[in-house]
Amino acid sequence: MWRRNYTGTLISLGRLAEAAEELARARELEPDAPRLVELAAALAEARGEG
């Protein structure tokens, strides 16, 4: 859960490369966590991909 929260914070701060790294780590630890989909979408939107 900590990594997911940290990812969200990094996205909010605009630290997108770090957010992507933390998101990958969170996926390794909890691949079925529902919030991962939300975070991936937020990261893509912040990058202008969404």
**What ranges do the domains of the chain cover?**
2-46
Give pLDDT, residue 48.
Answer: 95
Q: What gap in Å lies between CA 49 and CA 30, rounded to an integer?
A: 24
5-42: b (≥16 Cβ within 10 Å) or e? ebbbebbeeeeeeebbebbeebbeeeeeeeebeebeeb
Q: pLDDT tens for residues 1-50? A: 999 999 999 999 999 999 999 999 999 999 999 999 999 999 999 999 96
